[in-house]
Every structure is written in structure tokens, then in C-alpha cells.
């Protein structure tokens, strides 16, 4: 008797769209060549060890009867992480932490577990990639643990869910989601079906048992969490741990947060004994900045609600090739090309026969339009070989006709610059005229408002 053919369906790797046949372009997210074939998961009545514990009678509740208080947040005792989370961990939330391999995700979460256990919280660390011995070695490198945390090296979600319901911890770490699997789902660990099913089970555990769950996710070459995009939609908070592998700085960025502001960043420094917080990133970023050198300018960017001062460097030199080179590190390459074209058209800067290299020092990646003026000023300084005073700071968006447009949170930027001792700030004229800052707060800093890059050229 011939065996019946195993039924399969096709999933989009980007958004999780399901189709009975292969499609060249996904109707959901319009990505090309993103469908993969996977077997159909068997229908099961529920999740073993989870449904009975989390299922409750659904009764509508009046919004006025729902109360919120500060006690629902748990401090991680890591101020930079609390900032990104919106003030601490929300009980019963599901948090996704993504980042490149070796960037420090597991180290950061293990440090958080140590702090939570010191506060008397029950913590369960589930690892599907490391052995108990490897986790112990990393824990010893981080320092002493005054209280024990529970460790489970397992990849079977049924066993993990049973352990969680038996132990009832306050916080659970899943490292990583791509290694988890269920036998009822026929595909391999890390596939679209397994990742989606695993996240669904963990979400029911978090919401039903009021347990905070942190999920570690691998990233693709493009820098996004591997697996279907629906994974990011299911969780409450998405954090990305970024940084150059050759630099000591690490940045924890919140790209989604149902309980706080997005695009907040926390800054850390990687050391031999783990990650150390950088409480004043502006001062740290400007360490080693050269003085009285052409092509170096300090600009101010806003990351979430925090102003951060960074050094923008430019090197403009004559090219030996028919096509000039354009290179950018730390900012958008296309934006740099656009600004170079604006300078060539509006102020007659002949850059068609020059190579241009732009760099944001410190390893940060900034895409905020307020960095435009810093890039323009650095290029002008390098091209004309005129050094910008090291106590000068700038910010502002540059348009296609060369105008300098207003940016948000100008007061915070100016106050941060004054706090660090800058004595001149070049900014959009609109922002300069609308500032409501007391002169004592400026500490003698001179404000210069410009309307166009032509005025900026005259200023230097």
C-alpha cells in the first residue's frame, strides 16, 4: 500500500503569510522569493502543561475597573536597561532581544538575572545553545552571585512549559527562540512554523501566569531578527543590541515598546568582567576627539528622549579614478550622497572630482535628519581645509534647496551642549528664535541661527 504524501504548505519568511502553493512575491509584505515549504503542523487540543494552568473563563471587564500602578514594574538595577524598557520590566510582558552573535545579549541578560535574584526574584534561565558548565563559566566571569538562579538546558517546549508552571518564576530567559521546538510541529527548529508556535506558547505563559519572558533572537545579514516578521508583532517589546565587534561600545535600542517610548537607547561598554553602563554617553563619545583639525565637527542627535553628542568626521580629497568614491560609516549612505549633491548645486562646491568619506565616530549608527548639518559642515571643513572650533556644536536638517529646517527637541540639545562646556551652537534659525531657555542655563554659550547652507558657509 502506497504511503500517503505528507501535506505541506508554504510560509513567507518575512511576515509568516501562509499559502497552499509557492508564490514568487508575498501578497502580505510584497517580498520576493521569501516562501519556504514546511509540513503542516498536527492539530493538538492545547499545549501540554500550559493550557490547564493559564486558561481562565473569559469575562468582560469595564475599563474603569482596571487599575494600573507602579508596582507592576520591576527594576533590573541596570539604569540603562530600565530606560530602554520604559522604567523597568512590566510583569507579564514578552520581550524580544535581538543582536549579532557574540555582541553580548546573553551576558546582559545574565547580569540582569543576577540583579533580580539579589532582589529576591525567582529567575529561570533556559538555554538551548550552551551547557550548564558554559553558563557557569560566564557567571563566574561576571562576578559573584549572592543568590542562586535556576538553569535549564533544554530545547523541548513541552518540558520547558512544564518546568515553568511547576516553578512559577518571576522572570524567564529563553536563549534562544531559534533552538526551541515542539514534536507536534513537523518542521526543524528555527523554521517559520517552529518559531511562530514557540512564541505563541511563551506568550500564553507570560499573559496567563503573569510571568515576564525574555526571548533571545538571532539576526539575519540585514540586521533583523531571523524568522517571520509576525514574531515581532506578537511580543510586547523589541530590543536590539547593536555595536561594532571591534569597538567596546554596545547600544541597546528599543524599536517597539507597548509600555514606553521607542527609539530609546542604552549605552554599555564591554569589559572583561561583563557590560558596564555608560551614564554620560556624550562625554564618552567625544573622548579622543582631535582639536583644530579640518573635517571634524560635533553634532547633536536625539535618541528617544536622550540627546547624544557625536563627532562627525569627513575626508574630502581629489580622486585618481573616473568615478569618485563615496563611503559612509554610521549614517545613511544615500543621505550622504544627497547632501553632497545639494552642496554642489547650491553653493558651487566642486565635488564631482573628489572622493568623500564620512564617519560617525564611536560606532553609533544615526539616521536622524538633524545630523545633516554636521555632515555638511564636516565636508565643508575638509574641502576648504578650515578647522572648526572644537567648542562649536551644530544640528539641523538640510533640504534639497539648501534650506536649514527646524528639528524637534531643540532645547534638550542646547542644554546638553551647554552642560558639556560648548560655547557656540549653530542651529536652524526657526529653532533659535523659538527657544525659551534662561540665559543662566546657557552658561555663556552663543546661539547662531542659520536659514541655509549658504549662511553656514559664511559662518565658517
Return d(Cα 383, Cα 380) in angstroms, integer.
5
Residues 32 and 158 in one domain: no
Residues 20 and 86 in one domain: no
Would the annotation count 428 as a binding residue?
no
Return d(Cα 191, Cα 386) in angstroms, integer.
55
What's the number of CA atoms in the CB half-sphere (13 Å) around residue 248?
A: 13
Distances, alpha carbon 268 to alpha carbons 218, 235, 400, 402, in Å:
20, 24, 36, 37
Question: Are 185 and 193 within 8 A, CB to CB?
Answer: yes
Would the annotation count 296 as a binding residue?
no
Decide which of 14 and 344 is more confident.
344
Q: Whole domain around residue 328: which residue ranges?
A: 283-459
Distances, alpha carbon 231 to alpha carbons 29, 125, 157, 195, 444, in Å:
14, 21, 17, 8, 51
Residues 326 and 394 in one domain: yes
Question: How many structural domains is the chain composed of?
Answer: 3
Would the annotation count 99 as a binding residue?
yes
* 359 found inside a domain: yes
271 - beta bridge partners?
274
| Average per-residue pLDDT for the chain | 86
Return d(Cα 168, Cα 54) in angstroms, integer.
12
Torsion-angle region of residue 409: left (phi > 0), alpha (psi -120 to 50) or beta?
left
Q: Which of 20-24, 230-234, 386-390 has the highest mean pLDDT?
A: 386-390
Lowest pLDDT segment from 74-83, 90-99, 276-285, 401-410 = 276-285
Residues 112 and 241 in one domain: yes
State the Cα torsion 67-69-75-81 to the nearest 10°: 80
Q: What is the pLDDT of residue 406?
A: 94
Would the annotation count 106 as a binding residue?
yes
Question: Are 242 and 330 within 8 A, CB to CB?
Answer: no
The closest of 354, 353, 366 to 312, measured between CA atoms, is 366
Decide which of 112 and 226 is more confident.
112
Would the annotation count 100 as a binding residue?
yes
Average of per-residue pLDDT across 28-57: 62
- Is 50 exceeded by the pLDDT of residue 391? yes
Q: pLDDT band for position 115 (50/70/90)?
A: very high
Q: Is 306 helix (H, G, I), strand (E, B) or coil?
A: strand
Would the annotation count 104 as a binding residue?
yes
Q: pLDDT band for position 196 (50/70/90)?
A: confident
Q: pLDDT band for position 228 (50/70/90)?
A: low
Lowest pLDDT segment from 113-117, 118-122, 400-404, 455-459 = 455-459
Residues 269 and 299 in one domain: no
Number of H helices, E strands in the chain: 14, 23
**Final residue in a domain of this structure, among 279, 301, 323:** 279
Q: pLDDT band for position 50 (50/70/90)?
A: very low
- Is 60 exceeded by the pLDDT of residue 49? no
Q: Which of 13-17, 50-54, 182-186, 453-457 has the highest mean pLDDT?
A: 453-457
pLDDT in tens, 365-375: 898 999 999 99
Q: Is 322 helix (H, G, I), strand (E, B) or coil?
A: coil
Q: pLDDT band for position 76 (50/70/90)?
A: very high
Residues 265 and 315 in one domain: no
Q: pLDDT band for position 70 (50/70/90)?
A: low
Question: Are 397 and 369 within 8 A, CB to CB?
Answer: yes
Average of per-residue pLDDT across 285-305: 89
pLDDT in tens, 150-193: 999 999 999 999 999 999 999 999 998 989 988 887 777 877 88
Distance of CA 86 to the CA centre of its chain: 14
Q: Can you give the CATH number for the domain in which 172 is found? A: 3.40.50.300
Q: Is 307 helix (H, G, I), strand (E, B) or coil?
A: strand
Would the annotation count 103 as a binding residue?
yes
Count CB atoms within 10 A of the CB of residue 356.
25
Q: What is the pLDDT of residue 213?
A: 96
Residues 241 and 299 in one domain: no
* 46 found inside a domain: no
Amino acid at each position: 500500500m502506497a504511503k500517503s504524501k505528507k501535506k505541506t504548505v508554504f510560509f513567507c519568511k518575512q511576515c509568516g503569510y501562509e499559502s497552499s502553493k509557492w508564490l514568487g512575491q508575498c501578497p502580505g509584505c510584497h517580498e520576493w522569493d521569501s516562501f519556504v515549504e514546511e509540513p503542516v503542523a498536527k492539530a493538538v487540543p492545547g499545549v501540554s502543561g500550559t493550557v490547564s494552568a493559564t486558561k481562565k473563563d473569559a469575562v468582560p471587564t469595564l475599563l474603569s475597573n482596571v487599575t494600573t500602578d507602579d508596582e507592576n514594574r520591576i527594576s533590573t538595577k541596570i539604569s540603562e536597561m530600565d530606560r530602554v524598557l520604559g522604567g523597568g520590566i512590566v510583569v507579564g510582558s514578552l520581550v524580544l532581544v535581538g543582536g549579532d552573535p557574540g555582541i553580548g545579549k546573553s551576558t546582559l541578560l545574565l547580569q540582569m538575572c543576577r540583579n533580580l535574584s539579589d532582589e529576591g526574584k525567582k529567575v529561570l534561565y533556559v538555554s538551548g545553545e550552551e551547557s550548564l558548565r558554559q553558563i557557569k563559566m560566564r557567571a563566574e566571569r561576571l562576578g559573584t552571585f549572592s543568590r542562586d538562579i535556576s538553569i535549564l538546558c533544554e530545547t523541548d517546549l513541552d518540558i520547558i512549559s512544564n518546568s515553568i508552571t511547576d516553578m512559577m518564576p518571576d522572570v524567564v530567559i529563553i536563549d534562544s527562540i531559534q533552538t526551541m521546538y515542539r514534536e507536534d510541529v513537523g518542521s526543524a527548529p528555527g523554521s517559520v512554523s517552529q518559531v511562530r508556535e514557540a512564541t505563541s506558547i511563551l506568550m500564553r505563559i507570560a499573559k496567563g501566569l503573569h510571568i515576564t519572558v525574555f526571548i533571545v533572537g538571532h539576526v539575519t545579514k540585514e540586521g533583523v531578527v531571523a524568522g517571520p516578521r509576525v514574531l515581532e508583532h506578537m511580543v510586547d517589546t523589541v530590543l536590539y543590541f547593536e555595536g561594532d565587534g571591534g569597538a567596546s561600545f554596545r547600544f541597546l535600542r528599543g524599536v517597539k515598546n507597548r509600555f514606553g517610548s521607542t527609539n530609546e537607547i542604552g549605552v554599555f561598554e564591554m569589559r572583561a568582567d561583563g557590560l558596564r553602563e555608560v551614564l554620560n554617553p556624550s562625554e564618552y563619545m567625544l573622548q579622543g576627539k582631535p582639536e583644530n583639525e579640518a573635517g571634524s565637527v560635533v553634532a547633536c542627535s536625539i535618541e528617544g528622549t536622550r540627546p547624544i553628542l557625536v563627532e562627525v568626521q569627513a575626508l574630502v580629497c581629489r580622486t585618481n579614478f573616473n568615478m569618485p568614491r563615496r563611503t559612509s560609516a554610521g549614517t545613511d549612505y544615500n543621505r550622504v550622497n544627497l547632501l553632497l549633491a545639494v552642496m554642489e548645486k547650491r553653493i558651487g562646491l566642486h565635488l564631482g572630482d573628489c572622493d568623500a568619506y564620512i564617519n560617525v565616530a564611536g560606532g553609533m549608527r544615526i539616521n536622524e535628519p538633524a545630523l545633516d548639518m554636521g555632515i555638511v559642515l564636516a565636508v565643508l571643513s575638509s574641502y576648504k581645509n578650515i578647522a572648526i572650533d572644537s567648542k562649536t556644536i551644530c544640528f539641523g536638517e538640510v533640504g534639497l534647496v539648501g534650506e536649514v529646517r527646524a528639528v524637534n527637541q531643540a532645547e534638550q540639545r542646547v542644554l546638553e551642549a551647554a552642560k558639556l562646556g560648548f560655547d557656540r551652537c549653530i542651529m536652524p534659525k526657526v529653532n533659535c528664535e523659538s527657544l525659551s531657555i534662561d540665559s543662566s542655563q546657557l552658561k555663556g554659550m552663543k546661539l547662531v541661527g542659520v536659514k541655509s547652507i549658504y549662511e553656514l558657509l559664511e559662518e565658517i
